[in-house]
Structure 1
Amino acid sequence: MDTEKEFDVFLCHNSEDKDVVTEIGNRLRLCGINPWLDIWNLRPGIDLQDALGEEIANIQTVAVFIGSAGIGSWQGEEIKFFIREFIERDCLVFPVLLESAPDELELPPLLAGKTWVDFRSSIPDPLEQLVWGITSKKPSITHQAVRSGKTQIESGGYELPARKEEVIAEELLELERHLQRDEWLLADKLTANLLTHQADLLSEHTCLFDEASIVTNRMKSIACSTIVSIDRLWQENSGGKFGFSVQKDIYQSMTRSCVFEHISIHSLGSELGWYIQDICRWIRRSELISDKDKAPAGHFPWMICHDKRVVKTDYSRVNNNLKIKRVIFVMESMENMSKLFARLDDCYGVSRG
């Protein structure tokens, strides 16, 4: 990429898709790409079109994101504006279909016929396709490079810095905004993203948090400042009802009252509102209680795995011949939760020291 220009791509999107586009923008940053996004680059009180008019010479590519809400009226004006620039300056404008985009989609005439990036499909990798569209260089992101803290993109020479403080700081500010607005589900997902970025686990996940993940046996790779900041933000904005420390206190209270066996994670899960004892089932992320007054203490952040690789199948015989399939959660999670709480104690010791 030309290092003289300030921005590599303008992320054009409907306001209803802002959260998911912001997440994609953070992932682009980790690939060494500098996106223009209104919440990062538009100063309050400045007209969007005026700001874009000033930056147009510094933007070479426009990615138009389309989700379930389609294209908003202002977004449509943005497209027309950049299409004119595309004609005059030979810039690239292409559509990006988000996971929420409908299967049958009619693109605006200005975008019809253009090759798109499709986040509804994992093959080919949509992030790699997006990077390719922005840089004109086909990327090859290796798992080994990602785990070592660097992402090499073949033919481009871009590196992901081993330290990601800038991205982490941005996401902590975003987490605080969600928590202040009582947007618990969005804050929960962002918490998972923060932990993922610090653990350098951008692929091949073992323990899933919806779309983000973290393997707790790599807790030591996560900076104490991040863990403590996340925990304090949850506690301060929930009136002390949510956070890792709240979960730890509940866990320790339960350990004092009974002797835990290997199934004790079910008891903890039930206490936190993650496990439904009557039907012996772990809830899904979509079933989390978003009303703070109704949610039990410690309900967030959500720390339960739902990867198919950590479940096993049991068969129960009914009426001597009928087998009913049951999915049973493999409980490495009690050990994992203990690792989280131990890491939390270590980190608070560091912060106090």
Structure 2
Amino acid sequence: KRIAAAKRVWQLSQSQVESAQLMVSKVQSQLDEMTRKIDGFTQSQSQLESQIEAIASQLQSQSQAIASQLKSQNEAIASQLQSQNEAIASQSQSRLESQIEAIASQSQSRLESQIEAIASQLQSITEAVADTPIVSSSSGFDYTQLHRLLKSGQWKAADQETAKMMLAVAGKTQRGYLGENDIENFPCEDLRIIDGLWVKHSNGLFGFSVQKQIYINCGGKPDGSYPGDTIWYRFADEVGWRVGGSWLSSKDYTFSPGSAKRGHLPFTIRIDNWVYTDMYSSLAHRLVTCSI
């Protein structure tokens, strides 16, 4: 019985062993199958990685080629645009220059026409003014002849006419020179007319007011007092009445605006070619009191 029981136990255990072996065999088969699949997956992964690397390499090459092509195209386009811009700029500049020249030509033509018209009007006005007598309301003396002489550039004759008119206005024609009192009482309007004509027709080179300013610049005071030899000689040198320390005679005076010094004319207050400094100081004072 024990043997039979042991036999049954052994048979049962043997059956279990066989079942276990069978299960082990199946598991082993499954493991082998999974190992094969894993190996297959590994190979596939390796192939896939190789393919990916190849594709990446191709993409990089293609990207570089595309970038190179784009760069070349951009450079070509930029060159074309620059050429077009230069051509357009050249055309625009040419057109603009043509337009400017046309406008300038038209403007110049109009301006010339306007200038001619204005010059014609001024000439007419000047002629009308020249024909109008210049008479002082204070003394009644007519300065038209002085105006004509200065206008025509007859400076020596105008200087003589100035001396003649001033002597006549002061009532000292017979005496031939003016004294201090004569100058101090000389009519302001007449003095203003004479000075204005000289300054106008000499373009500011000659005139009593020009001489007065030079006199003051040299240190003279327009109060009628004698300024002293140093200042007086300096003034005479400045206006060209003295040259090299010597006084000029009447024949040596310059009656030309092109070569005369500023303030050289008129030289009307004289006796035997000598200037009376006190008289000229009085004239400067009179110019101040007359606001000239």
Give TM-score, length-normalised by structure 2: 0.47
Higher-Rg member (1/2): 2
Higher relative contact order (CA 8 A, sep 6+): 2
TM-score, length basis structure 1: 0.39
